Structure 1
């Protein structure tokens, strides 16, 4: 039985009813909020265990907090006591502050909007749900005798279930808020600790220390030799500083003769390289007509970037979208096909032409900094071990991750997977073909 099934058994109707009474919210909203928090906490813990520090912290919190699953046997009874319930909430909020630092408020706001409950209720539920999740994990650690590495590996076995079980309406904001892009795309895994970090394993002993010369200032400070030593060191330092200053002065003078413009250009180039990723994505220069382009040093440096942009802009997607984006009378919401982006059957491996299309899309987003899009994926070629919905979601998030890497703000790109595109509850009796493609919808133009 997997983690989510265990949590479903623990968070039964009686327990949810007790929780709803405590926070004074409707049972339906409380249930939706708790489900959202379970997905958020499990996803956040997966992300946390991608580092050695996170692996150790999670395991240590479970051990030191004595999370062994004992309260789960009579959780509904435990929640009858408001004082005990408040203690569980406080305990969970303290843990979440350590495992997911500086995220408590943002998670509370996300869940408050998702389930339409008060923000204070969402924060209380965050603490309580965190405690319950850790109790379930701690019980698994106890029963299976897991160490920290085993716990992290077991947690990551839930990744496929996580992608498939999280509601489509909630997944995009969850991925963006907690930063789960690489998790859902299958590009991240649990970190393994070094032997020195693992309890019970031999730790390398330090190499024997060889005798060295000791510089004990206190012992010779009152002696003549100590005074002479201090004066000698002081004179040497003064000479070194004087020589260094003279050297810098001479080089500065040589550099200044007729090269002020080059120095200014170098400074701008350095600042540009170190600029924020989002700033870079919004700072794409407009092309100048070839006949009027100035023949300066600045033009020479900018030419390669301009040439690259020009090559990318020549694509069919740009030719199709430019008239739409530049016409303010056309409404937002239009869909565009992305036939150039495709994947090998049943995998996350892109075809040879996909990268050029992604680069073109990235250039479009940089050219129109106000543009916001939604990538919609369809898949009908999933292999054993993953659903079509999970595969389609991983594919569009892989594309989104590449756009982010190219300098696009993650808030401008939404990504959802719709599986085959055939709804299970479709009662129209119209034969609809399953799909395997990526399309893009313009959210803001």
Structure 2
């Protein structure tokens, strides 16, 4: 099942034209509004599949709401039936309140601003599309099928959402998991014909029948005597061949074969550690950057809006992983934000490629450190800044 194709079949060009006429929309792009709502609600459903409990709740809510929904085959026809529109609006409002309780207000503001369409029209569109999504996921589908379909659309959804919308959607609705986390892999079911891998059992030391049977005291003494004779003979041979008992001679002890791999492994790892430490970050810069940032925050005479480049916050090259010294700097910023409850910031991350999803992941990595320190997510915006270095910029929104 391709959700994008299914949605386009239901919410088609005819629907958009009828919707436009019904609302007398003359400003903005109604098609962008509809698609924006669809992408956002779909992302919210996908997020709920990250835990089994949330997935169960989502499935039950969809099934319960589906009982009262009866959309016509041609969705565009609803605009000629006022009573049907009223019911769809009421049902859609309930669906959004139940399935996406925290979405309604930010969803309407974000999509309305993005598409240039009025909030009232955006609200009607959201209620209609909520109905459509419930119908799409309620037909002959169990919970596991629902989760499977949503997870299969994770990457396609990220690619389908326009970058300009994604940058607004992620921070506005708190959908950071779309970029910062991956859904838990679906458990694979073994096929009946799949060859079973035989488990290897640990090798056991051979048990010799003659030794096993020898349990009497006489047998033990015979074994001891034989051992002494063998050891004595070996010692005598070694003495005559080497002119003495020099057991620690490197000539005879083959330790090179054991030691060499260890030495080679150390030689490979050390340069990597040194490279990482040198590339990322000088502590003097950390102190001066943070001091300037703190001084600005505490200076009530300066207005908000200033942006700081934190070269002391750095990512491992071509990755979204923060260096350990960077985390310490972010912890200091978190402490400053705790002491100044009005302080709100915007984190802008960059990369050599300028890839928006990648940059967003970097920005959210910094945001996660702040939220782990107890800073509410609503006080932190995290966005992509396009092409640039491995250091983010932090803008003070309010102080």
TM-score normalised to structure 1 length: 0.57
- Rg larger in structure: 2
Q: Secondary structure of the residue that 2:348 maps to in structure 1?
A: strand
The alpha-carbon distance between structure 1 residues 91 and 52, as it changes in their structure 2 partners (threshold 3 A), is same
**2:395 matched to 1:444?**
no
The equivalent of 2:343 in structure 1 is 371
1:374 shift after superposition: 1.0
Distance 1:61 1:411, change over 3 A: closer
Task: Give ranges in structure 2 of 5+ residues lacking alignment.
Answer: 188-282
Match of 2:346, SS state, is strand
Q: Indicate the residue corresponding to 1:48 in structure 2.
A: 48
CA offsets per residue over residues 305-327 of structure 1, 9 Å max, x none?
xxxxxx9x983332232343344
Q: Is the 8 A contact 1:372 1:443 kept in 2?
A: yes
2: distance between equivalents of 1:6 and 1:357? 48
1:163-200 per-residue CA deviation (whole Å, 9 max, x = no partner) reads 444455544653345332333321665899xxxxxxxx
| CA pair 107-136 structure 1, distance change in 2 beyond 3 A | same
Partners of 1:107 and 1:356 in 2: how far apart?
35
**1:143-178 superposed Cα distances (whole Å, 9 cap, x missing partner):** xxx531232233133333444444555446533453
Match of 2:296 among 324, 330, 354: 324
SS in 2 for 1:416: strand
Q: For the Cα contact (< 8 Å) 1:47–1:180, is it kept in 2?
A: yes
Aligned-residue offset at 1:415 = 0.8
In the alignment, structure 1 residue 149 sits paired with structure 2 residue 103: no
- Indicate whether 1:99 and 2:71 are aligned: no
Sort the Cα spacing of 1:43 and 1:21 in 2 relative to 1 into closer, same or farther, 3 A.
same
Of 118-127 and 70-79, more deviation after overlay is shown by 70-79
Shift of 1:37: 1.4
Q: Is the 8 A contact 1:17 1:27 kept in 2?
A: no
Q: For 1:49, what is the secondary structure of its paired residue?
A: helix
- The answer to whether the 8 Å contact 1:342/1:354 transfers is yes
Contact 2:348/2:384, CA 8 A, preserved across alignment: yes
Q: Post-superposition shift, 1:70?
A: 10
TM-superposed deviation, 1:398: 2.3
Deviations 1:269-316 (A, max 9, x none): xxxxxxxxxxxxxxxxxxxxxxxxxxxxxxxxxxxxxxxxxx9x9833
Note the residue ranges of structure 1 that are not aligned, 5 or more in a row: 193-310, 382-386, 422-433
Q: How many residues align?
A: 303
1:70, 1:411 → 2: CA distance? 38
Alignment of 1:187-266 (within 5 A): 189=184
